[in-house]
Structure 1
């Protein structure tokens, strides 16, 4: 991990505000926490330096050496205020200074700790090895008469290991916090995506319902209104029957539209399965659909081979009903007067098959506007239910829609 990558990963309160490349406009102002940490580090380094200065003064070193040691220690402690900007360079300089000036040892420890927290282990290992070597050189150049060389070497090794180990622990903890925050952010993003997908599925389900429900009613209205337009000389009985169908279809379409709007306003969202608060059609209500089409003037033959329609699962029956409804609607629009055959077969375990077939119209049919969304919606409905949907022209010029839906045993 590079310095810039780690700078990006660290939380703002933990990040190094003055890493290379972040100078100028990218520099973060010191927070109250930064001041507390920097003051504590300065006081710790100064305390260690005072203890080392007392030791060097008590072993008979010349006054000028003691003064230079104290001066170097004070400069090293003050230099800690820039450790956030140049952590590697400062640590290297303090390792060299502490080799000849023991008073700078406290500042070197703080710089090594800061380097371990903010830099990769490879850099830390090099500087830590250099600090250990510097401690051994210091034990030779500036020996303490009260401590043996072996004891001094062991103490230096223990201090370096403790500082590096503590720094690595802090670094790992910060990385863990960053990882948890990133995981939480990712989980929140995924939750938003799931919610958006659920809303999209709900909108698609509502769109299918609105098309399936309203298209049937409005097609009845359009066909009979067109008949009145093209046959103004029709017998009064036929005109009255067509007007009655138009009135009933408009009323039913308005009621269906109110039902759909009621679903949209309901507090419980639609889950995409079509299970809302209003009564839903099933396979048992297919006879009523066929009877309604016959009353509207269609010639419909129903071949219902399911002995107990009530045994068909509600979702499967509802999908079969919608497929038959759309097939009758298309036949009414594009093949008026043709006899339509609706066939329903199937058994538990084998699935449910529903087919709507009509021959070619016996006369020229005026062009009826259509977008094909109904067939697209039926394809989506059958696919979501785990089935399949087929449609197309028959050899004689007719049209056929067929769907297979799973029916669990």
Structure 2
């Protein structure tokens, strides 16, 4: 499309240059300035000048400089010279176009003095030439500015599209990270229960049939719940409308969580002093803090009592602590610390503070504590 347009413009420019040459020839024959064989010389000069215009787009300044000689020798080359000046204004900076235009304004002056126009005389002819060349430069500069504006808009649109793609990739990455955190939170608890009960069935041979059946039922229930929660998360992941992933559990499910932990053999000392009315994000984050604390205690310090404290002052205070055994147990499941990292990120997003680690009392007893302070204003 661009090539066809350029060819059409070149043909139009050639036709205009030919028409100007014919008009100048007719005028010169009428007023006698092309007598004494000057017509043939002018034709011999003008025809190559018009042909050279086809290279003005590739070499605008070079073509314009080359046409200074024909413009200085005959009026018939004036149209070609004017088109060359216009091409320089279109394809080169204004400063270059101005000095090229000045050269083309001065080059024909000796010819206008040697063969003055009977009607305009020298001053009138050169004033008219100045006006025409100034118009060509102004028009070419306007075309150049328009092309630069269009190119700038296209570049800006391409950049905006690229930035939009980058933002989309970032959003998808954040969504994947969020889904990964949800998968860890909802599955780690269930899988740790399954591992605990399966380990009991493996190493204990003194269990009654009722106890074995009860452990098997717990394993089956936990596995079923884990599969349901995994199916829900994957359903959101596959959803085409990008439905927001909303964890279903909060502090209202705290009693069920504690019951499951105690059923798995963990003693939980719960001090629940919150009276509800918390923002949804704070409610979910507090629940996840307790869930992660119980899961970690079950994995790394099985059989010890876990103390859970939830209270409200200027902030919501959540603390989960458990004493460390004298001989740390090897966890049945490998840990990646992604749970604690995910909790730190959750608390930070909720605008709170998060701490975790081993603390020692004055008597030297070691306690692992997971603690957070969350803003309680909605």
- After TM superposition, the score normalised by the length of structure 1 is 0.86
- Contact between 2:89 and 2:141, CA under 8 Å: does it hold in 1? yes
Call closer, same or farther: CA 1:160–1:361 in 2, change over 3 Å: same
| 1:189 Cα deviation after fit | 0.7
Distance 1:306 1:313 in 2: 12
| Partner in structure 2 of residue 343 of structure 1 | 309
Structure 1 segments unaligned to the other structure (5+ residues): 1-11, 14-30
Distance 1:346 1:188 in 2: 47
Distance 2:163 2:31 in 1: 67
- Contact between 2:316 and 2:374, CA under 8 Å: does it hold in 1? yes
| 1:185 Cα deviation after fit | 0.6
| Partner in structure 2 of residue 354 of structure 1 | 318
Of residues 81-90 and 239-248 in structure 1, the stretch that sits farther from structure 2 once superposed is: 239-248
Call closer, same or farther: CA 1:372–1:364 in 2, change over 3 Å: closer
Call closer, same or farther: CA 1:389–1:153 in 2, change over 3 Å: same
Distance 1:399 1:89 in 2: 82
- Contact between 2:73 and 2:108, CA under 8 Å: does it hold in 1? no
| Partner in structure 1 of residue 369 of structure 2 | 400
- Contact between 2:71 and 2:77, CA under 8 Å: does it hold in 1? yes
Distance 2:155 2:342 in 1: 39
Q: Which segments of structure 1 move beyond 6 Å, counting only runs of 4 or more?
A: none
| 1:235 Cα deviation after fit | 4.6
Of residues 195-204 and 134-143 in structure 1, the stretch that sits farther from structure 2 once superposed is: 134-143
Q: Secondary structure at the match of 2:107?
A: helix
Distance 1:135 1:353 in 2: 92
1:90-127 per-residue CA deviation (whole Å, 9 max, x = no partner) reads 10121232122111000001111111111122211110
- How do residues 70-109 of structure 1 correspond to structure 2 at under 5 angstroms? 70-109=43-82
RMSD: 1.9
| 1:248 Cα deviation after fit | 2.0
Structure 2 segments unaligned to the other structure (5+ residues): none
| 1:166 Cα deviation after fit | 0.4
| Partner in structure 2 of residue 138 of structure 1 | 111
- After TM superposition, the score normalised by the length of structure 2 is 0.93
Distance 1:39 1:364 in 2: 90
- How do residues 4-403 of structure 1 correspond to structure 2 at under 5 angstroms? 13=2, 31-61=3-33, 62-270=35-243, 274-275=245-246, 280-307=248-275, 309=276, 311-347=277-313, 350-361=314-325, 364-368=328-332, 369-395=334-360, 396-403=365-372
1:225-251 per-residue CA deviation (whole Å, 9 max, x = no partner) reads 112222222455543433332222122
| 1:159 Cα deviation after fit | 0.6
How many residues are paired up? 372
Distance 1:141 1:306 in 2: 106
- Contact between 1:76 and 1:104, CA under 8 Å: does it hold in 2? yes
Distance 2:306 2:82 in 1: 92
Q: Secondary structure at the match of 2:235?
A: helix
